[in-house]
Amino acid sequence: MNIQSNTYTYIYSTVIVLIVATGLAVVASALKPAQNKNVEIEKKQNILTSLHVVSDAGNAEKLYSEFITDSYTLNSKGEKVTGVDPFTINLRAEMKKKPSARNLPAFEAKKGDSTFVVIPVYGKGLWGPIWGYVSFRKEAQVQEGIPHYNTIYGVMFDHKGETPGLGAEINQPFFQNHFNGKKVFNDQGKFVSVQVVKGGADPSSPYQVDAISGGTITSKGLQAMLDSCLVTYQNYFKSNN
Amino acid sequence: MKNLHLLLNPLNDENPITVQVLGICSALAVTVQMKPAIVMALSVTVVTAFSNLIISLGRNTIPPRIRIIIQLVVVAFLVIVVDQILKAYVYDVSKKLSVFVGLIITNCILMGRLEAFAMSNKPVESFLDGIGNGAGYGLILITLSFIRELFGSGSVLGYQLVPQSFYDHGYSDNGMMILPPMALITVGIIIWIQRGYNRKLIEK
């Protein structure tokens, strides 16, 4: 057999491609269920993390059913939408729609005597998407005109490919803990979101947190993400008085 | 004896990074912290070893004109399989490595070893050569990430090593260590030290 000939080269490359393609298809479909399960468990763990519930891959599902009491899909007017599973909503696709046309997932939780709502957020970092969950504690007593869901109880952020040691630090507790207790509505009941400030946030301000040094673009992306995602929920927050 | 030589030689005398100057790009990218560096080293070792083995098994049948394409297809296949397995069974580790596992395909060490060794040697020797080169690459990656994480973030494998009292007395982490240029300088220093001990590497 002449391995230099054209015919041999064509047949050889065709056979190799067929073998590799079949192999990859088999591997991918065999591992798909395990991968999907991992993604689902991770999502539940993320929701729990934003509620300051520590979980691992083993107990995430049990804890999730223990703490999460209800989940629903909202529209931008704050009304519940039926027929859309909030757990499987693709936020990336929703963010491409007009704010008024988006399906907004919300997860209600109970921890001790307090009621919480967990809101998923999705935005752009420096190198790729960033996302997270923000949990709000329902306050029993509030001033007139200020929603019950105003104070952030906890947050969880993650990213696809931010710079390790710099922007990637948004998934670290030291950064996320800054958000605890911050507010998204000001004293007049106007939506202001949380600002991620470069070069030192005012510690007494309930609306500012420190940016990550060296991660300016990621920090700005995070601020834009919080603003653009949470603003669509303001009618829901206000209607909960 | 020859087989042992194949395994150990790439650790020092023929180290892929410091002597052959291959795989530098990924060594700069993944060494900010130790944990991803270790998993990257393991993944590269697995892919190098098995791609060497497969190419060596088929070395007499591969048409010379498309040999590079065939090598790439084999490497890409193995990298995707490794990536899928990491995603299914060690999901948290695979997330840490994100794009870097896919980038193994472009690692110069792989193509270098396939062209220079596996195309002209027997399967067992090629397999050992792959493991040796992966280990040599990993050795430098782990050393580099240790230095960078210790001085850049004050920790090793995520555990804080520099005590808080140092920071209280004015010590601060070296931000340069986190940036890629410092990785290149550190590789240079490692090469310098290695040649200081291993005189036969010095070119006359």
pLDDT in tens, B85-133: 888 888 877 876 767 788 888 888 888 889 888 999 999 999 999 999 9
pLDDT at B11 over 90: no
Which of the four pLDDT bands, split at 50, 70 and 90, describes residue A78? confident
> Counting every residue, how long is chain A?
241
Amino acid, res. B152: G
Residue pointed to by tokens 């400030």: A197
- A84 in contact with B at a CB cutoff of 8 Å? no
- The reply to whether residue A38 touches residue B91, judged by beta carbons under 8 angstroms, is yes
Average confidence (pLDDT) over A141-146: 80
Instruction: Tell me how many residue pairs between chain A and chain B have CB atoms under 8 A apart.
Output: 69
CA B84, B86, B90, B93 torsion-angle sign:
negative
> Could you tell me whether strands A80-81 and A68-74 are parallel, antiparallel, or unpaired per DSSP bridges?
antiparallel
Q: Which residue of A has its CA nearest to B35?
A: A164
Which of the four pLDDT bands, split at 50, 70 and 90, describes residue B154? confident
Judge if ipTM > 0.85: no
pLDDT at B65 over 80: yes
Q: Which residue of A has its CA nearest to B77?
A: A20
Q: Mapping DSSP to helix (H, G, I), strand (E, B) and coil, where does residue B199 land? A: helix
**What average pLDDT is seen over chain A?**
89
As given in the structure block, the two tokens for residue B30 are 């993944």
Whether B132 contacts B156, CB under 8 Å: no
CA A197 to chain centre: 21
Q: Mapping DSSP to helix (H, G, I), strand (E, B) and coil, where does residue A116 land? A: strand
Average confidence (pLDDT) over B189-197: 90
Average confidence (pLDDT) over B174-200: 87
pTM beyond 0.80, yes or no: no
Q: Which residue of B has its CA nearest to A23?
A: B77
Amino acid, res. A234: Q
**How far apart, in whole angstroms, are the C-alpha atoms of residue B86 and residue B36?**
13
**How far apart, in whole angstroms, are the C-alpha atoms of residue A200 and residue A213?**
10
**How far apart, in whole angstroms, are the C-alpha atoms of residue A227 and residue A232?**
9
- A26 in contact with B at a CB cutoff of 8 Å? no
Residue pointed to by tokens 């067992």: B124
From the list A12, A20, A165, the residue facing B178 with the nearest CB is A165
